[in-house]
Amino acid sequence: MSKTVLPTFFHDIMTSMLGKAEGQAFLDSYDKPRTYGLRINMLKIHPDSAEEHDIKQRFGLEEIPWCEDGYYYDVETRPGKHPYHAAGLYYIQEPSAMSAVELLAPQPGETVLDLAAAPGGKTTQIAAKMAGKGLLVSNEIHPQRARILAENVERFGARNVVVTQAAPDELSARFPLAFDRIMLDAPCSGEGMFRKDPDAIAEWSPQAVELCAARQWDILKEAVAMLKPGGWLAYSTCTFNRQENEETIARLLEHYPDLKLLTEKRIWPHLHQGEGHYVALMQRDQDQANDIVADQTHLKGKRGKKRNREDHPHKMASAAYEACLDWARSDLPGLGNLLGGGMPILFGESLYWLPSSAGMQLTPQSFEGLRIPRAGLHLGEYKKGRFQPAHALAMAISSYDAALVYTLKAGSSELAAYFHGDTLTVPEHYRGWCLVTLECEGASFPIGWGKASRGQLKNHLPKGLRQQSPTH
């Protein structure tokens, strides 16, 4: 008998699904300690480097078999509190949740959608695999969660990610048959969360499972509408019942004969070191999908109508971008090599680099009427003809890109002061925008900007990120 009090219905479902002996082993797993994982950020850390070695040693990392950048960590080492976390050197993520993107296998240069993306575990994993090339649209329906997603993308230093905050049907109306790969990590009844979060047990009921399955079906239909012929769709949940997993996928395959199942994978807490996950990987047939080429005329019409009004915003964006390039010539000479395909775009005073892929060229009109917490890489603010670099830009570059760098050591009082938002004292010869970095085994990683003048470094860490005093 497991000690954790689980709903009787859940107990019965799992026992009938797995049989008595295995069902008991599964239920007993709820009494065991939960597992903790992180993924090393391959956009920032080179494999086999001294920095990678340091991270592995410091947090007692052990490889997760199904994810090449994923590791179990020793909970006592608290990697989430270390300044390396603020520098985006890794992302903390439940180990079994890392399995889905490994199956989806997004490639550099592709056009990819993460449809239910907050807080950003799968998005950052996809972004690492795309290595800054191509376009990732990362969507989250809930406004507050979408903001957290945008912050996590920013800390990770991903440059080619657009964060949207839309309902799935709002996106599918705009982007029919548009994506090479789609990740749908669906909202679910969270049976794999029971060890992590007792509230998930309280919220569970057979009715909740029904409701989740109905919602998953609705979201899946929108996901399919956005999948290119030949494209791949990964569907995942962190729940165990068949209704939200195999049965939902069987229904989908029956409804869409042009989809085929490539593989299904389960991670079980009694068989593997992880809280549990289900993933189904499907591919849309290249030929049959020709019959369902979407009617995009309404989109063309909409773009056509707006064309006359495009000129002014476009000129403003060009002026802002010119100011940015002017600034970069002296302060960030590496900028030119950083930006892939795309275009500058201005939202109010905020200048972004809107990424594009060979398959999708986004323009400001692509998003009309949608909420966009992050229209690609936030380059900076353009105010009264002057350019000021954004925190996101600092996080997306390396210490070699900037002209002026000021490096702080983990554990130093200066680092604590910087995270607190204080002005720092720097050598007199420091002048202008300075990339503040964190030292790590001879290398150094950006944590924000400062502006130096007369021996003082004015702190430009965004207010919302201050006070996070590191513990190491």
Buried/exposed 353-391: b ≥16 CB within 10 Å, e otherwise: bbbbbebbebebbbbeeeebbbbbbbbbbbeeeebbbbb
Active-site pick, 67, 188, 212, 238? 238
Tokens of 37: 């994982």
Q: Which residue, 180 or 185, is less far from ligand SAM as judged by CB?
A: 185
Q: Name the minimum Å distance from CB 146 to ligand SAM.
A: 9
By the rule CB under 6 A, 145 interacts with ligand SAM: yes
Q: Which stretch binds ligand SAM (CB under 6 A): 39-47, 112-120, 128-136, 410-418?
A: 112-120
**Residues of this chain, 43-102, that bind ligand SAM according to CB under 6 A:** 97
Residues 292-331 that bind ligand SAM (CB under 6 A): none
Q: How far is the CB of 193 from ligand SAM (least distance, A)?
A: 9
119 in contact with ligand SAM (CB under 6 A): yes
Which of 54, 110, 140, 180 is the binder for ligand SAM (CB under 6 A)? Answer: 140
Residue 78: CB atoms within 10 Å: 14
187 vs 359, beta carbon nearer ligand SAM: 187
Minimum distance from residue 82 beta carbon to ligand SAM (Å): 21
Does position 122 interact with ligand SAM (CB under 6 A)? The reply is yes
Q: Which is nearer to ligand SAM, 183 or 397 (CB)?
A: 183
Give the range of 138-146, 171-179, 273-281, 430-438 binding ligand SAM by CB under 6 A: 138-146
CA dist 93 to 67, 79, 169, 235, 451, Å? 12, 11, 28, 18, 34
CA-based nearest residue to 173, from 213, 221, 136, 214: 221
> At which residue do the structure tokens 């769709």 appear?
233
Using the structure block, give the residue that is written with the tokens 């056509």: 304
What the block records as the tokens of 455 is 């021996």
Please say which residue, 97 or 345, places its beta carbon nearer to ligand SAM: 97
**Minimal distance in Å, beta carbon 373 to ligand SAM?**
13
Q: 215-244: which residues touch ligand SAM (CB under 6 A)?
A: 215, 219
In whole angstroms, the minimum distance from the beta carbon of 220 to ligand SAM comes to 10
Extract the tokens encoding 228. Answer: 């290119």
Q: Whose Cβ is closer to ligand SAM: residue 51's or residue 244's?
A: 244
Interface of this chain with ligand SAM, residues 158 to 177, rule: CB under 6 A: 168
Strands 386-389, 377-383: pairing kind: antiparallel
Q: How long a stretch of residues is the chain?
A: 472
Q: Which two tokens stand for residue 78?
A: 């608290």
Helices (H), 235-343: 246-255, 297-331, 335-338
Residue 455 in contact with residue 426, Cβ under 8 Å? Answer: yes
Site size toward ligand SAM (CB under 6 A) is: 17
Min separation Cβ 242 and ligand SAM, Å: 18
Q: Determine if 373 is a binding residue for ligand SAM (CB under 6 A).
A: no
- Among the listed residues 98, 90, 108, the one whose alpha carbon sits nearest the alpha carbon of residue 155: 90
The single residue among 142, 306, 315, 458 that binds ligand SAM, judged by CB under 6 A, is 142
Q: Which strands make up the sheet holding 227-237, listed edge to edge?
A: 259-267, 277-284, 227-237, 179-185, 111-114, 135-139, 161-165, 371-375
Contact segment (CB under 6 A) with ligand SAM among 111-119, 309-317, 430-438, 460-468 equals 111-119
What does each C-alpha distance from 289 to 110, 132, 447 come to in angstroms? 19, 29, 46
Question: Of 65-73, 135-143, 315-323, 449-457, which segment contacts ligand SAM by CB under 6 A?
Answer: 135-143
Distance CA 43, CA 159 (A): 10
- Give the residue with the Cβ less far from ligand SAM, 80 or 187: 187
Looking only at the bridges linking them, the beta strands covering 62-63 and 70-72 are antiparallel
> Which region, judged by CB under 6 A, interacts with ligand SAM, from 141-149, 326-334, 403-411, 435-443?
141-149
Q: Identify whether 324 is a catalytic site residue.
A: no
Sites of contact with ligand SAM (CB under 6 A): 97, 116-122, 140-142, 145, 168, 185, 187, 215, 219
Residue numbers annotated as active site: 238
